[in-house]
Amino acid sequence: MPHIALLESQPGIRGAMAFRPETARPLNDLVEVLLHAPNSLSPGERELIATYVSYLNDCHYCQSIHGAVAAAHLDGDEELVHRVKADFEHAAISTKLKALLVIASKVQRGGKHVTAEDVAHAHSLGATDVEIHDAVLIAAAFCMYNRYVDGLATIQPRDEAMYRERGKMVARDGYVSVSKTYLPAEPVTR
C-alpha cells in the first residue's frame, strides 16, 4: 500500500503525478526533453541509460517501464535491454554509448565520481558536450524519479505485458502526451 493516499488504479509514478499535478507537469516536461525530443542520441539509447540507472537504483517500476520503452524503440529487442542491464560492456551497443553508460553509473553513485578520464574517453569515442551533459542529467534525473516512486511506496505491478503495452504507447506518443491520460484536465485547487 502506498505511504499516502494515491489512486491505486494508477501504478508507479502515475499515481504520484495524479496526486500532485503541479509537480507532474515539470517532471513530464523534463523527461520529454531528455528521452523523447529530437537529439543526436537516439531515443532507444537514451532509454537504455534511464533503464540502466533505474536498474542500479533497484526501482522495479522505472526499470520495467523504461526497459519496455527502450525495447519499443529498438524493434522489440528485449534481449538487448537485458544484456545492457546485466553487462553493458559486452552488449551489442556502440562504444560511445558504453562510455556514456560508464559516466551514468558514476553519477548514480554520486556526481563527484565522474573523472576527467571518463569524459575524455567519451569524447574520444565521438560523444559531444551536449551528449555528455544529457547522459549526466538523465542519470541524475533517474536518481530522482526512482526515489520518488520508491519513497512513496507506489504500486509497482509484476506484469510484463502491462509494461510492454505502455512502453509502446510512450515510445510512439511521448511522455507529455501520454500524461494527459492520467492527469486531471483542470488545475487543482488547494
List contacts with other proteins (CB under 8 A). 3-5, 16, 19-20, 22-23, 25-27, 29-30, 33-34, 37, 57-59, 103, 106-108, 110-112, 114, 116, 119, 129-130, 132-134, 136-137, 139-141, 143-153, 190
> In the complex with other proteins, which residue's Cβ is closer, 69 or 149?
149
Q: How far is the CB of 173 from other proteins (least distance, A)?
A: 18
End-to-end CA separation in angstroms for the chain: 24
Question: In angstroms, rounded to a whole number, what is the distance separating the alpha carbons of residues 18 and 20?
Answer: 6
Q: How far is the CB of 95 from other proteins (least distance, A)?
A: 19
Q: How far is the CB of 27 from other proteins (least distance, A)?
A: 7
Secondary structure (DSSP) of 79-144: HHHHHHHHHGGGSSS-HHHHHHHHHHHHHHH-GGG--HHHHHHHHHTT--HHHHHHHHHHHHHHHH
Q: How far is the CB of 70 from other proteins (least distance, A)?
A: 20
> In the complex with other proteins, which residue's Cβ is closer, 51 or 108?
108
Q: How far is the CB of 102 from other proteins (least distance, A)?
A: 12
* All cell numbers assigned to 146: 526512482
Q: How far is the CB of 151 from other proteins (least distance, A)?
A: 3
Contact call for residues 41 and 122 (beta carbons, < 8 A): no
> In the complex with other proteins, which residue's Cβ is closer, 60 or 83?
60
* All cell numbers assigned to 51: 533503464
SS3 content of the chain, % helix, strand, coil (to 5): 70, 0, 30
Return the ∠ at Cα 177 (arms to 63 and 159), rounded to 5°: 35
Question: In angstroms, rounded to a whole number, what is the distance separating the alpha carbons of residues 5 and 79?
Answer: 37
